[in-house]
Amino acid sequence: MKTPVVLVTASLAIATALAATFLIATGTRGDSASFTSSAGKLEVETIATGLAYPWGLAFLPNGRMIVTEKPGRIRLVTREGQLSPPLAGVPEVWYSGQGGMHDVALDKSFAQNSTIYFCYAERAAGGGRTAVARGKLTESGTPRLTDVRVIFRQDGPLSSGNHYGCRIAQAPDNSLFVSLGDHFTARDQAQTLDNHIGKVIRITPEGAAPKDNPFAGRSDAKPEVWSYGHRNSQSLAFNPASGDLWEIEHGPRGGDEINIIGKGKNYGWPVIGYGIDYSGAKIHASTSRDGMEQPVKYWVPSIAPSGMAFYTGDLFPEWKGSLFVGALAGHMVARLPLNGNTVGSEERILQNLNERIRDVRQGPDGALWLLTDNSAGRILRVTPAAK
């Protein structure tokens, strides 16, 4: 059982130090603003506007981007910020509460097969569940998806509109890791293996459970389960320095976590944790228990982390090797220096942007790209300011 490394409180001195003078962007395409940081002044450029609660972002080989909108749409975006019409061929999405269209990811062989994966809230009798689909992207003419197939459907108590989770990360062996939420009212199911509630799963690109999954062959477990004891995961990515899968999930009131995901491991929710219920009531039996994993970092109070990127680019040499995390409630981006699996002191940037940050990606150009979470959502590009 690992030892928790970092506890972050609201009284970080570095956050105060960074709350200097800012020039605030107007939100119009092409506008930019400058912000201070430990790497010098940052320029934040509005690339695209007019997106309704954008959720997931990926970069296409031809320089365009593909972005999801929570109401149930997928669009292509040019580097100049031009939005395509919503792609045809997208399945019906249940847009309700926290549910809708969520993450999108390109297949590792996209340049050869044009395949993308996406996850979304799907209506079922009495509620909603997370579904994962794949399809082929046709960019010529009217952009559209073809050969769309649902390859996975979450099994377990349905959601009334909360805690779908859902980020997608493809491993070097081509298998897909997908994070699934606990549906809020079914949190105890995160500790049982006979459902997909509060789990990270591993499936093939066709949706099958690989035979070397940790619980494959057990009659009391779903074969897709890779890890369990999760609440509402909003980030999933492989650390390029180690090859480990990292996950970030929301706590209740306090207790947002960063975890390094291991095969067959139990991450404790709701038995252990560092938060309390929204009512103020106690949830957890304790903060630790034998056989349950500890986070490498947690936040009290919560920042509602969402999206993450391990920085490997050259635009910010001082930040190479850092982890960047968006924050919804925290209205910022957190930069976390890493030393192996040890998380260093947090730097909070872009706080005066005053935006809910849904996703953070490193672009092919080495810039940081952000999605803002609102009805007039934007795609932002963060670069060093011109000197």
The confidence score (pLDDT) of residue 19 equals 33
Work out the average pLDDT over 154-169.
Answer: 97
The confidence score (pLDDT) of residue 350 equals 98
On whether the CB atoms of residues 143 and 84 are closer than 8 A, the answer is yes
Give all strands (DSSP E) within 171-262, no chain letters.
176-180, 199-203, 225-228, 232-238, 245-250, 256-261
Please choose, from the candidates 349, 368, 256, 366, the residue with its C-alpha nearest in 3D space to the C-alpha of residue 40: 349
Question: What's the start-to-end Cα distance of the chain, in Å?
Answer: 48
Reply yes or no on whether 230 is catalytic.
no
The confidence score (pLDDT) of residue 11 equals 36
CA distance 53 to 323: 24
User: How many Cβ atoms from other residues are within 10 Å of residue 7's Cβ?
Assistant: 11
Percent of residues, the chain, with pLDDT higher than 90: 90
Burial class (CB in 10 A: 0-12, 13-18, 19+), 237: buried
**C-alpha 79: how far from chain center:** 22
Exposure string of 10-39, with b = 16+ CB inside 10 Å and e = fewer, is eeeeebeebeeebeebeeeeeebbbbbbeb
Cis peptide leading into 205, omega within 30 of 0?
no
The confidence score (pLDDT) of residue 1 equals 46
The confidence score (pLDDT) of residue 33 equals 84
Q: Say which of 163, 183, 250, 284 is annotated catalytic.
A: 163
Work out the average pLDDT over 110-115.
Answer: 98
pLDDT band at 27 (very low <50, low <70, confident <90, very high): low
CA distance 341 to 343: 6
The confidence score (pLDDT) of residue 288 equals 98
The confidence score (pLDDT) of residue 29 equals 72
pLDDT band at 387 (very low <50, low <70, confident <90, very high): confident
Local structure of residue 207 (DSSP, 8 states): S
Examine the pLDDT at 348 and tell me if it is beyond 70.
yes
User: What are the boundaries of each domain within the chain?
Assistant: 7-384
- CATH number for the region 7-384 comes to 2.120.10.30
On whether the CB atoms of residues 245 and 296 are closer than 8 A, the answer is no
Examine the pLDDT at 21 and tell me if it is beyond 60.
no
* Total-model pTM: 0.92
On whether the CB atoms of residues 183 and 159 are closer than 8 A, the answer is yes
The confidence score (pLDDT) of residue 140 equals 86
pLDDT band at 155 (very low <50, low <70, confident <90, very high): very high
Work out the average pLDDT over 182-186.
Answer: 96
Average pLDDT, the chain: 93
Work out the average pLDDT over 273-281.
Answer: 96
Examine the pLDDT at 8 and tell me if it is beyond 80.
no
